[in-house]
C-alpha cells in the first residue's frame, strides 16, 4: 500500500529514507523510492513512524495511515538557518529568535545602516541533549501554516529565547555563527515606539514573503497549491518549464502563505559591506537591496523611521505623523487597505508619497491574521481579456491612479537612473 511521500524543505522527493513503522500489533521497516513514494504492506490505522536519512534531521511522530490519503512526510536538511518571531516589532517589544543549528552557535545583533553597527552579543547557545538546537518542520504543506520552530520540545519557559528591540528604529540583522564557521543572517524590522522623524520608510516584508519559497511554495512556484507529488526534476516536470503556454496565475483562489518561515533570500553574507555590488538573483530586490537605500538616507543625513508593511496594514503606522512616506526597491504586494489609506493621505491630507521602486502595488494581498496572507493573483487570462493593467486592477483600480505608472513586461530587467525634473513641488 502507498502510505505517502517524503520530501525536503523545497518539496523535492527524497529517496532511500529509512522508515520504521510500528504499533502494538506490528513493527516493520521500509525505504522510500526514487519518487519519494513510501510503500508498506500494512493495514490502515494509527502508527508511530520514525524517519532517518543522512544529511537530514531525524523525526518521529504519530501518523494515521489511510489508503486514500497519502501522507506527506517532510524532512529538514542539515544547515544553519534562523528567523525572529515576530519578524517586525516596535522599539521595546520582544521577539523570539528561532535558530536551526547542528552545533553550538553564537548570536549577535547588528543594525544595518550606512555602517554595520554591532549592537551587542547575545551569547553562545547550545543544549545538554544531543543536537538539541536542531529544529524540525511539520509534515504536509507548512507554507500555509508556518514552520512553528521552538514549539516542539520547548515546554520549559527557561528554554524560550527572546530579545528586546532597541530604542532606535531601523533594519536590524541577527548574525548566527556556528563553531564550524557556518554563518547565517536574518532581518528584524524595528519600528519606533513613537514617531521620531519626518520620513517613514516601508520595508517590503509582504513582498519578501511572496518570494520566499521555503517549504516548497511561494507566489512564484506552486502559487495556488502543492501538486500531489513532490518534485524530482523541476525542468522536466513543472509546467513553468515544460509548457510554452504556461500561465503562472490561472486560478481564482490561492492557498495562504505564512510569514512564520525562515527567509534564506534575505541572508546577507558576513563580509558584505553596503558599497559592495549585490550578488545573487533574489538579493537585488529584497532586504539586502533595501538596506542600501536605508544606508543612503543615513549617509545623506535624512532621519527616518522604518516600518514593516504589515505594521502599516494593522494600524501601527499613523501617516498623519509624517510628511513623507517612502517605498524602496520592490513593493509589489499591498493590501487594499494600505493602498486606499495612502491615497486618501496624499489626495486629501497633503501627504507626500515617494515611490522609488519598480513593479509596485501590482497585486492585492489579504492579510488573514498577523502571520498569514493570501495573494489575490486572479486568473491572468481574465486580466488580459478584460484589459486590466495589473493584478491589483482586477479587484480594485489601476495602481497608476496613485503612482502615475504601472509595471509593463517590456520593462522587465531594464534599469535607468532617477532624474529630478521639477523639485519645487516638494
Contact 403, 372 (CB under 8 A): no
The pLDDT of residue 189: 99
Residue partners of 402: CB distance under 8 A and separation at least 6: 339, 342, 343, 346, 353, 361
pLDDT digits (tens, 9 = 90+) for 211-266: 999 999 999 999 999 999 999 999 999 999 999 989 999 999 999 999 999 999 99
Residue range 175-184: mean pLDDT, rounded: 98
307 is a domain residue: yes
Closest of 264, 263, 266, 260 to residue 150, by C-alpha: 260
Tell me which residue of 213, 220, 283 sits closest to 8, measured CA to CA.
Answer: 213
Query: 172: which residues sit within 8 A by CB, 6+ positions away?
Result: 109, 110, 111, 112, 119, 165, 166, 187, 188, 189, 190
Tell me: do 277 and 354 sit in the same domain: yes
93-107, 238-252, 275-289, 404-418: lowest mean pLDDT where?
Answer: 404-418
Task: Give which of 265, 51, 229, 261 is closest to 142, Cα–Cα.
Answer: 261
Question: Does 421 fall in a domain?
Answer: no
Q: In terms of residue numbers, what domain contains 363?
A: 202-255+273-415
- If asked whether residues 8 and 114 sit together in one domain, one would say no
Same domain, 186 and 216: no
Single residue among 24, 39, 74 that ends a domain in this structure: 74
Together in a domain, 94 and 125 = yes
Residue whose C-alpha is closest to residue 402's, from 353, 368, 367: 353
Question: Which is nearest to 356 in space by CA: 292, 266, 276?
Answer: 292
pLDDT band for 417, please (50, 70, 90 cuts): confident
The reported pLDDT for the residue numbered 158 is 76
Is the Cα torsion angle 190, 216, 395, 403 positive or negative in sign? positive
Q: How confident is the model over 331-383, as pLDDT tens digits?
A: 999 999 999 999 999 999 999 999 999 999 999 999 999 999 999 999 999 99
Indicate whether 147 and 125 sit together in one domain. Answer: yes
What is the sign of the dihedral through the CA atoms of 54, 55, 56 and 58?
Answer: positive
CA 133 to chain centroid: 22
| C-alpha cell belonging to residue 236 | 522536466
Pairing of strands 105-112, 116-125: antiparallel
Measured torsion, CA atoms of residues 161, 291, 319, 312, in degrees rounded to the nearest 10: -40
Residue 423 lies in a domain: no
Q: d(Cα 195, Cα 306) in Å, to the nearest integer?
A: 10
Q: Indicate whether 212 and 97 sit together in one domain.
A: no
Taking 3-state DSSP, the helix, strand and coil percentages for the chain, each rounded to the nearest 5, stand at 20, 30, 50
* Structural domains of the chain, count: 3
pLDDT (tens digit, 9 = 90+) per residue, 293-322? 999 999 999 999 999 999 999 999 999 999
Q: How many whole angstroms separate alpha carbon 204 and alpha carbon 286?
A: 7
Contact 217, 195 (CB under 8 A): no
Q: Are residues 219 and 342 in the same domain?
A: yes
Say what the pLDDT of residue 220 is: 97
Share of the chain above pLDDT 70, in %: 100
Look up the CATH number of the domain holding residue 57: 2.60.40.1120
Does the structure show a pLDDT above 70 at 425?
no
How many CA within 13 A on the CB side of residue 70?
19
**113: pLDDT strictly greater than 70:** yes
C-alpha cell at 210: 511572496
User: Which residues have a Cβ under 8 Å from the Cβ of 32 and sit 6 or more positions away?
Assistant: 5, 6, 13, 14, 15, 16, 17, 19, 38
Q: Is 239 helix (H, G, I), strand (E, B) or coil?
A: helix
Question: CA nearest 306: which of 187, 417, 389?
Answer: 187
**In this structure, are 210 and 147 located in the same domain?**
no
Q: Does residue 243 lie in a domain region?
A: yes
Residues 25, 107 share a domain: no
Q: What is the pLDDT of residues 42-63, one digit of tens each?
A: 999 999 999 999 999 999 999 9
Q: Which three cell numbers stand for residue 325?
A: 512616506
**End-to-end alpha carbon distance in the chain:** 70
Instruction: Using the predicted structure, report yes or no on whether residue 159 has a pLDDT greater than 80.
Output: no
**Cα of 109 vs its chain's centroid, Å:** 20
The domain boundary, picked from 153, 173, 193, lies at: 193
For residue 358, tell me if it sits in a domain: yes
Looking at 50, 74, 98, the residue that finishes a domain is: 74
Q: What is the mean pLDDT of residues 128-155?
A: 94
Question: CA 54, 59, 64, 68: dihedral to nearest 10 degrees?
Answer: -30
Whether the pLDDT of residue 99 is over 70: the answer is yes
CATH of the domain at 97: 2.60.40.1930
Q: Both 249 and 303 in a single domain? A: yes
Q: Hey, how many other C-beta atoms are within 10 angstroms of the C-beta on 287?
A: 27
Q: What is the pLDDT of residue 265?
A: 98
Q: What is the rounded CA–CA span in Å between residue 37 and residue 4? A: 6
Supply the pLDDT for residue 426.
Answer: 62
Torsion of CA 56, 57, 60, 66, to 10 degrees: -30
C-alpha span between 425 and 4 (Å, rounded): 63
Task: In whole angstroms, give the CA distance from residue 98 to residue 81.
Answer: 8
Mean pLDDT of the chain, nearest integer = 96
Whether residue 89 lies inside any domain: the answer is: yes
Determine, yes or no, domain membership for 141: yes
Using DSSP's 3-state secondary structure scheme, residue 373 falls into strand
Q: How far is CA 148 from the centre of its chain?
A: 14
For residue 103, being part of any structural domain is answered with yes
Amino acid at each position: 500500500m502507498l502510505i505517502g511521500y517524503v520530501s525536503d524543505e523545497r518539496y523535492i522527493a527524497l529517496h532511500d529514507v529509512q522508515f520504521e513503522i510500528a504499533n502494538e500489533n506490528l513493527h516493520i521497516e521500509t525505504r522510500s523510492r526514487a519518487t519519494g513514494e513510501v510503500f508498506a504492506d500494512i493495514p490502515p490505522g494509527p502508527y508511530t513512524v520514525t524517519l532517518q536519512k543522512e544529511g537530514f534531521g531525524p523525526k518521529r511522530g504519530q501518523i494515521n495511515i489511510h489508503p486514500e490519503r497519502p501522507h506527506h512526510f517532510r524532512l529538514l536538511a542539515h544547515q544553519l538557518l534562523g528567523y525572529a518571531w515576530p519578524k517586525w516589532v516596535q522599539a521595546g517589544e520582544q521577539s523570539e529568535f528561532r535558530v536551526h543549528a547542528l552545533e553550538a552557535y553564537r548570536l549577535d545583533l547588528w543594525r544595518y545602516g550606512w555602517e554595520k553597527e554591532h549592537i551587542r552579543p547575545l551569547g553562545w547557545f547550545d543544549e545538554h541533549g544531543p543536537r538539541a538546537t536542531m529544529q524540525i518542520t511539520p509534515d504536509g504543506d507548512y507554507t500555509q501554516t508556518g514552520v512553528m520552530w521552538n514549539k516542539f520540545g520547548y515546554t520549559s519557559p527557561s528554554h524560550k529565547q527572546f530579545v528586546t528591540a532597541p530604542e532606535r528604529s531601523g533594519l536590524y540583522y541577527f548574525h548566527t555563527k556556528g563553531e564550524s564557521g557556518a554563518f547565517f543572517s536574518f532581518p528584524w524590522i524595528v519600528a519606533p515606539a513613537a514617531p521620531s522623524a519626518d520620513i517613514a520608510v516601508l520595508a517590503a516584508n509582504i513582498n519578501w514573503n511572496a518570494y520566499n519559497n521555503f517549504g516548497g511554495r511561494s507566489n512564484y512556484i506552486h502559487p495556488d497549491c502543492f501538486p500531489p507529488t513532490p518534485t524530482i526534476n523541476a525542468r522536466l516536470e513543472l509546467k513553468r518549464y515544460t509548457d510554452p503556454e504556461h500561465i503562472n496565475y490561472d486560478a481564482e483562489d490561492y492557498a495562504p502563505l505564512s510569514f512564520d518561515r525562515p527567509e534564506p533570500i534575505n541572508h546577507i553574507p558576513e563580509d558584505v559591506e553596503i558599497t559592495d555590488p549585490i550578488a545573487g538573483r533574489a538579493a537585488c530586490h529584497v532586504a539586502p537591496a533595501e538596506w542600501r537605500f536605508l544606508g543612503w538616507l543615513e549617509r545623506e543625513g535624512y532621519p527616518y523611521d522604518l516600518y514593516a508593511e504589515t505594521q502599516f496594514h494593522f494600524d501601527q503606522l499613523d501617516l498623519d505623523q509624517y510628511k513623507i512616506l517612502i517605498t524602496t526597491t520592490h513593493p509589489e504586494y499591498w493590501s487594499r487597505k494600505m493602498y486606499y489609506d495612502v491615497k486618501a493621505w496624499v489626495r486629501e491630507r497633503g501627504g507626500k508619497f515617494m515611490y522609488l521602486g519598480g513593479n509596485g502595488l501590482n497585486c492585492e494581498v489579504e492579510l488573514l491574521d498577523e502571520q498569514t496572507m493570501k495573494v489575490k493573483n486572479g486568473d491572468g487570462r481574465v486580466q488580459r481579456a478584460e484589459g486590466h493593467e495589473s493584478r491589483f486592477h482586477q479587484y480594485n483600480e489601476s495602481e497608476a491612479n496613485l503612482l502615475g505608472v504601472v509595471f509593463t513586461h517590456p520593462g522587465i530587467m531594464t534599469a535607468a537612473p532617477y532624474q529630478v525634473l521639477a523639485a519645487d513641488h516638494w
